[in-house]
Amino acid sequence: MLASSSSGNCTFIGTDSTRVLIDAGLSKRETQTRLQAIGESLETIDAILVTHEHSDHVAGLPVLSRATKKPIFCTEQTAAVLDWNNVPSKVISFQAGTGFAIGDLEIGSFTIPHDAIDPVAYTVTAQGVRAAVVTDLGYVPDSVKMHLRGVDLLLFESNHNLEMLKAGPYPWSIKQRIMGRRGHLSNDAAFDFITTDMDTTVSTLILGHLSENTNYPSLVEQMAGQALESRGLRLRAHIAEPGRQSPVFTY
Q: Maximum CA pair distance of the chain?
A: 52
Q: Quick one: pLDDT band at residue 55, thresholds 50, 70, 90? A: very high
Q: Has residue 41 been placed in a domain? A: no
CA distance linking residue 212 with residue 191, whole number of Å: 19
Q: Has residue 162 been placed in a domain? A: yes
Q: Quick one: pLDDT band at residue 89, thresholds 50, 70, 90? A: confident
Question: Helix, strand, or coil here: 229?
Answer: helix
Q: Has residue 158 been placed in a domain? A: yes
Q: Has residue 99 been placed in a domain? A: no
Q: Has residue 86 been placed in a domain? A: no
Average pLDDT, the chain: 96
Question: In degrees, to the nearest 5, what angle opens at C-alpha 82 toward C-alphas 160 and 57?
Answer: 30
Q: Has residue 59 been placed in a domain? A: no
CA distance linking residue 43 with residue 60, whole number of Å: 16
pLDDT tens string 60-74: 999 999 889 999 999
Report if pTM > 0.85.
yes
Q: Has residue 214 been placed in a domain? A: yes
Q: Quick one: pLDDT band at residue 187, thresholds 50, 70, 90? A: very high
| Amino acid making up residue 104 | D
* Number of domains, the chain: 1
Give the mean model confidence (pLDDT) for residues 208-225: 97
For residue 194, the enclosing domain spans 137-242
Closest CA to 138 of 182, 77, 203, 86: 182
